[in-house]
Structure 1
Amino acid sequence: MASSFLCLSLLFISLSTAGGFMYYDLNRCVFNSTEVKDIEYVRSWYCNKVEFIRFDSSVGKFVGYTELGVKNAERLNKDQGQLAAYKAQKETYCTHNIGIWYSNILSKSAKTSPTVKLHSMTPVSSHHPAMLVCSIYDFYPSEIKVSWLRDGQEVTSDVTSTEEMADGDWYYQTHSHLEYTPRSGEKISCVVEHASLKEPLKTDWDPSSDPSMPESERNKLAIGASGLILGLILSLAGFIYYKRKARGRILVPTN
């Protein structure tokens, strides 16, 4: 078997109150693909947490680990019918179910890139008048790093983040909050680092496209941006007019 493998197990426990002993057996399929050669069926029997006998399809027989286990292994290995029945479990128990496990469970183990949404909201109680929320959805595995940049510099204060929360479909979500006092012309970004990403994913905040911002505020931003552009156009027109006037001016020498 490959050094890295996947294992799904079905545990059967039977209890006996007499004398306080606990007996149980464990069936498991160890595999790293759906290929038969990459599948191993193992059944172990335990008494009071001690494994005393095991059947391993890769070995093809029972193996004892205690005095009682060795005696039972010798007996079972002589029973060709019993031995054949356990050898068949690789096919009937493992191969039959691994296709289901692989499609329904293991397909989720692939690294899934996160979806990032950035929006603003009004802080409930804070010494800052504004707050940005960076929401990250649909990522796997759960380990993730979220940070904030303000004009290219990482922000470490007034930042709070939730734990990675399971969505119930093998994916996760998390939310990071930045409380701040807005400055004119600044650039704020949410940076996400995850195993599925070749490089950090940076999302810049664009207040004009923020659906959570009131329409009146977006209108103010639009009017302000329009005024700024108009001012630049008028300044440029005035500069061009001045240059043309300067070229056409005749300088008269004086005595």
Structure 2
Amino acid sequence: MASMFLCFTLLFINICTADGYECYSSTRCLFNSTELQDIEFIRSYYYNKIEHVRFSSDVGRFVGYTEFGVKNAEMWNNNPGQLAAMRAQKETYCQHNIDLWYANVLSKSVKPSVRLHSTMAPGCHHPAMLVCSVYDFYPKQIKVSWLRNGQETTSDITSTEKFANGDWLYQVHSHLEYMPRSGEKISCMVEHASLDEPLIINWVPPMPETERLIIVGAIGLILGLILFVAGVIYRRKSGDTSLAHRFGEKQAEDWNKDPAALSLWRPQKEMFFKPDSELCFTNVLPKSVMPLARLHSMTPPGGRHPALALCRVYDFFPNQSKTRTDAGSQ
């Protein structure tokens, strides 16, 4: 019950103070090196986003900026123990952490990743614009420049400020407006402490839409042909192992094990085929059909005789026939 009451009380306090008053402090260390003379320790106290009192190691005392802050600064400055504790923070807090930062972070460098792409921005003086985006580099100092046919250019270039990612890394973007020229080579050059030599990224214009569609269509046609040929080869190799054949073998095996099925099919020879055979012998096989004959000449290619007579006989039954040729006395 007590736990439930505490949860309800905290919820009530949060709701009531959502738009209420806020008091907080921040601690900063400003430095250029690990030496004490290059370090400044700052402790600031805020009330509703307004800084009302600050301690700076360069000043050595509290300074008030509002009526409330002046009163607090006067009270704290009259406390020798509190002043001594704040003055010691420059060495115990700032210098200690700065040594760690220099050893593990500030002396390190991270190579940038570069992306070169085109874009269209409204209000440009030229019909084309390139953007060189440099991401995730450290330290902050970096130089991004543009090369046209190997020569550095400084006109029609705009660059953004170096943005902090919030993870000690930075990014920057440089824009180049240009007039496209046939055969011109445009590059983005990045110089940074993490690089042994400048990183140069060359601009490769995108392929026209028609050529891209033709290539995609050709690739699709080739893939379809490969799949078709593979399917034909697979069907030929599978042969008797096809699903239908395996099903037929299984069905025949099951029927051969069934005496009733065998007894049903064995009499079919006499019950079905014999009557049909007798009808065929009575109405078809004893009959005969008079043949049609056609005699014509042709010249055989490469023959030993200048002419060739051809006798064609059509539509006769039964298939026993005899053909004789009478050529004068021959």
**TM class, shorter-length:** 0.3 to 0.5
| Greater fraction strand | 1
Of structures 1 and 2, the one scoring higher in RCO (CA 8 A, sep 6+) is 1
The structure with the largest alpha-carbon Rg is: 2
Task: Please report the TM-score for the alignment, with normalisation by the length of structure 2.
Answer: 0.36
